[in-house]
Amino acid sequence: METNFTGLKRLPSKTPGMFLLLFLICAFMASFTSTVHAAGTAIERIKKNGKLVLATGNYRPFEYRDEKSNQIVGYDIDLAELIAKKIGVPLEAQDMQFQSIIPTLQNGRADIVIAAMYITDARREVVDFADPYMSTGMVLVTRKENTKIKSAKDLDGLVVGVKSGATSEHVAEGLLKEGPKFTIKAYRETVDYAFDLANGRIDAAVNDLLNQLELNKVYPNLAIVGEPFTKAELGIAVRKGDDDLVSLVNSVLAEIKTNGEGEKLYNKWIIGQ
């Protein structure tokens, strides 16, 4: 080895492989630091963008296009407005097919999901949920004139409508495994199979109780059969790691339970007062 002017032995020159290894280590650390930092800065990100972007669907009375104004309205929209107000930014609501909602959130094109979405274990694996904001369940629906259908056991040989990719489809698939052999017909939106059911094109449907109560106002010849055969809670979803946003949403939910705002929303959109 050569000796430098201090008398210390000079180390061999670094090889290209060593430089590559150092580069990869630095890149990994930078990526890890960025990820950790981003996990706790959802609200700062939203404030920087100047708006809260909501991904939602088409599910009366929770979210739908007003026939006169073409604006997205409903229970979930008013709730999202309260969350946006708490953050201090305006709300931008984007409606889409239900199957696109979670991917839109994951890809960063939305900050939050409020879409009458059931909290499930499968969804918990890909998104984080705030506290539940409403309880509901799945019901069987048919035409009032059809007195033969009294429960799921009477669906043998019939055609049952569901919403594609939603809980109603999964519940119907579960009913198939339990015994009755019926045909599942999946629709893009609940209003589509409600229309077909009302007009005799299908025999029955599986739907959320609260949504069906609203649809029965539009199609008075439809009726709910029996009691809900599932119990579920509706949740507000955010991207994995957006813990500060979850905390803020939970604070809003707690506030509207105590200040009467939650009851006003329920009466306005669910009861219809």
pLDDT digits (tens, 9 = 90+) for 57-105: 999 999 999 999 999 999 999 999 999 999 999 999 999 999 999 999 9
Give span(s): CATH 3.40.190.10, the chain: 42-135+233-271, 138-225
Residue 160, CA distances (Å) to 71, 163, 185, 186, 220 in order: 31, 10, 6, 8, 19
What pLDDT is attached to residue 148? Answer: 94
Indicate if the pLDDT at residue 118 is higher than 80: yes
Say which residue, 181 or 16, is predicted with more confidence: 181
Q: What is the CATH number of domain 42-135+233-271?
A: 3.40.190.10
User: pLDDT confidence of 18, banded at 50, 70, 90?
Assistant: very low
User: pLDDT confidence of 179, banded at 50, 70, 90?
Assistant: confident
The Cα 195–Cα 180 span in angstroms is 24
Q: Within the chain, how many helices (H) and strands (E) appear?
A: 10, 13
What pLDDT is attached to residue 208? Answer: 93
CATH T-level assignment (fold) for domain 138-225: D-Maltodextrin-Binding Protein; domain 2 (3.40.190)
DSSP 62: T
